[in-house]
Chain A
Amino acid sequence: MDPHLSSRSTVEVAATAAPSAAPLLAAAWAVFRKDVRSELRTRYALNAVLLFAVSTVVAMSLGMGPLTVSRNADLPLIQAALLWVAILFAAFTGLARAFVHEEEARTAAALRLSARPTAVFLGKLLFNLALLLLLVAVTTGLFVIMLRVQVGNPGLLAALLLAGSLGLVAATTLIAAIIARASVKGALFAVLSFPVLAPLLVVAIQGSANALAGRGWESGVGALQVLAGYTIALFTASLFLFNSVWEP
C-alpha cells in the first residue's frame, strides 16, 4: 500500500465517505489512530493500567523480595505465575476501555456509520495490542528489578510474552465489545474473559517458568506453538462473530 495514501487522507475518507468506500486496512488504521489520539488526550486507560501494574508488582515484592533460588527450588514457577497474574489483572482493568468508552460517550453510533465492523474490530484490536505491549514491557521490567528475578533465557521469555500478549488481545477484544453493551461492565469483563484465557495462562506460565529457569529454546517451542494456534483460532472466530456483536 502507498504510505502517502494511508497516513493523512484516511481519517477524512473514513469520516466522510460511505463505510465500504475506504479500504479495510486503511479504515482500521484510522480507527486505531482515533483511539490513540483520544487516549492521549485523557490518558485514562494508560494511567489506570500502568498504576495498577506498578502497585501489583510493588505489593508482590513486599512479600516476595527476600526469596531466593537457594531457599526455594520452585521459585521460577512461582515467579512466572505471579508475573502472568499481574499482567492478567492489569489487562482486565484497561482492555475493555476501548469499547466501553464508545458506549459511555455515545459515539458508537457515529463509529458504526463511518467504518465497517471489521475495520472497527481491527482498529480496536491494534489499540489494545499497543496498550498491552506497553503494559507487559513496564510490568516485566519492574518485576525483574524489584523481585530480583534471574532471567535465564531472556530471548525465550520475550518471545513468550509477545505470543501471550497476542493471544490475550485476540481473546479479550471481542469480549470487551460484548460487555460494553451490558449493565455491569467491569466485573463482567473479568468473569467472561478468565475461562476463555485459562488454556493460554497454563501454557504461558509453564513456558515462562522454563525461560526463567534458563532452559533452552526447545523447552519453549511447544508453548509458542500452542499460543500461536490459540491466537489464530480466536482471531478468526472473532472476525466471524464481531458483526453480530456490533449490530446496534
Chain B
Amino acid sequence: MKLLLLATLNGITLAALYFIVASGFTLIFGMMRVVNLAHGSLYLIGAYIGHDVAALSGSFPLALAGGAIGAALVGMAIHYFLLDRYQGDDLRQALVTIGLSIIAADLLLARYGGLSYQFELPEMFYGSMPLPIVGGYPIFRIVLIGLAIAVYLALWLLVQRTRFGIMIRAGVDDRHMLGAIGVNVPLISTLVFGLGAALVGFAGVVGSSALSIAPGEDARYLLSSLVVVIVGGMGSLPGAAIGALLVGLAEQIGLAYFPTYSIILSFVIMVAVLAWRPYGLLGRPA
C-alpha cells in the first residue's frame, strides 16, 4: 500500500514536470505545427543558464527567470533564422533541428563537462511534508504539482481569453488568411515559439532542481514530450495534461512493480492510444 501510494505520488510529480516541458511542445509542435526536435536541447540550455545565474546571484527566482528568458531568446533565434522559412516542410524542419540538437549537446558538453549538477534550493523548499501512510514527502515535489497547475491555467487563459490567443488559434486554422487580415504572422509565430521555449527553459531549471542536470537529459525530455503530446492529442492543452499523467504514472508504477519492463510501458501506452484513437485522446483531425 505504501509502495503504491509512493509510486503514485512520484508518478504525479514526474507528470507535473513532464507537463511543463510538454506544454511548450504543445504550443510549438501541437498548435503551430513547427517540428522542433531541438526541444530537449532548449530544456538543457535553460537548465544550464539557470545554473549559471544561480551560481552568480545565489537567487532561485532569478535562476528560473534566467533559464526561461535564455531559452526563449535561443528559441526565437532558431525559429526566425532557420525554421520559419521552412514552415509546412516537416522533413526539413526535422533535419535542421536534429542537427541543431547534436551541435547544442556537444557545445554544452564542452562548456559544462559530463558531470551532473544540482541546484541549491531556497531553504523553504527543503525538508519533507508529513503525509498519512507514506510518512513524509519532499516539499519541492509537491511545489512541482502547484507549478504545473499554474502553467496550465496561465496557458489556458492566454489561449482562450486574450487577443494574442485568438491569433494563435486563427493561425493554427488558416495561417494565410490570418496574414490577409493584417496580422504579422511570422512575428506571431516567432513569439509563440519563444513562449514555448521559455516554458521548456523554465522546466529545465525546475526539473534540474527536483532531479539533476546532465548530458543526455535533452533526449529524454524530447522523447517524453513527443509521447505526451501524441498521446494527449496534438495541440490540446488538457490532452497534454492527461498524456503527462499517463506517462508519468506508468513510468513510476512500472519502476516500482516490474522494473525490467517499465521502460517500454510509455510506448505501450502510445501504441494502444494510437490504435484506439489515431489523433490522440483529445486530438482532432488537422
Bound pair (A, B): no
